[in-house]
A = this chain, B = another copy of it.
Amino acid sequence: MEKRVIGIDVGGTNLRGALVGPDGKIINRMKVASDADQGIEAVIDNLVRLIKNIGGGEDVSAVGFGIPGIIDFKAGIITQAPNICNVNNYPIRENLRARLGDAVPVIIENDANCAAVGEWWMGAGKDVGSLVIITLGTGVGGGIVLDGKLWRGADGMGGEVGHMTIYPDGAKCNCGNYGCLESYSSATAIRRMVKEVLSDSSSQTALGELVEDEDPGRIPEAVMKAALEGDRAALGIWEQFGTALGIGMASLVNILNVEMIVIGGGVSQAWEMFIDRVLAELKRRALRAPAERVKVMKSVLGDDEGIIGAAYLALNVGKEL
């Protein structure tokens, strides 16, 4: 029988998984709440149930997990995951094996790395050998595939493109640095910029009204709506967002000369708000040959890229990837 695997995207709110065939097609998908507020053991219970339900009694040859955090993929340990019960050095592979049995190999990987692999395998990058993915969400994540192989870095921390310095004296980032890409091109950055606009009494904007009642995670959508209605402050925020992203992408292109940059994550839905600025900065700042070579693409798999990437790693367990 053909080899089937399960890919799982572990989030702070939901656990989303799918049974995936060797052709990368999703056969069956499911989603359950993470219950992360009830502790890591509750999350593990939910993961085990999810895996059993997705598998539905069928033979599954391996399970891959994409996890938001610092992952030691060789040891099978979550080194640090602030968004998953804030665990440190948690031996998730061992604990899952104790529940699932030794017969099913367990692979864990950082979620943005899974997204990079997913887009390279079945998404925007399926015809290229090298790409960088930049995921624009609450923060800015990233993953790097070179010659069809994930570049994890020496400590699994490779691809943290959200923490490139864009403006050395810029806004303070959560990581402690100043002027990171994440401080300009994330949902968190948009919230900061909205606050700055609103604290300036001279600016005329409808943002206050729009943003007031919004869930913080929905601020980018509100600012997009305002920009589409011609609100100048909102347009200015997207200009800052796109400029910083373009500067960062030009540096990435000059450093890595990759064939593609994929832009994913929830805020990539606002594509039309920033892409012109991104491409203008890229053209202005990157060296000619690599700038002409690189394709800039919106994520094709969207929310599924992590699941598909985790499934790819599960399918290729034991191979050096």
Contact = CB atoms under 8 A, between A and B. Distances in A.
Interface of A: 70, 79, 129-130, 142, 144, 146, 151-161, 163-168, 175-178, 243, 247, 250-252, 254-259, 284-287, 289-290, 293
A253 to B, nearest CB: 9
B130 A254 contact: no
A257 B155 CA distance: 7
Contacts of A251: 163-165, 251
Contacts of A70: 289
A151 B256 contact: yes
Contacts of A286: 163, 177
Contact of A255 (B129, B160, B250): B160
Given A129-B154, A163-B286, A178-B285, 16 more contacts: A153-B257, A154-B257, A154-B258, A154-B259, A154-B290, A155-B289, A155-B290, A157-B289, A159-B257, A160-B290, A163-B287, A165-B166, A165-B251, A167-B168, A177-B250, A177-B284
A154 B130 contact: yes
A149 B70 CA distance: 25
User: Could you say how many copies of this chain the assembly holds?
Assistant: 2
Contacts of A161: 254-255
B255 A252 contact: yes
A168 B155 CA distance: 30
A142 B290 CA distance: 15
Which A-B residue pairs are the 3 nearest by beta carbons? A153-B257, A157-B257, A164-B251
Contacts of A130: 153-154
Given A151-B146, A168-B247, A158 B285 contact: no
B287 A157 contact: yes
B247 A157 contact: no
Contacts of A167: 168
Contact of A287 (B175, B252, B254, B255): B175
A255 B164 contact: yes
A281 to B, nearest CB: 9
A237 to B, nearest CB: 17
A284 B165 CA distance: 11
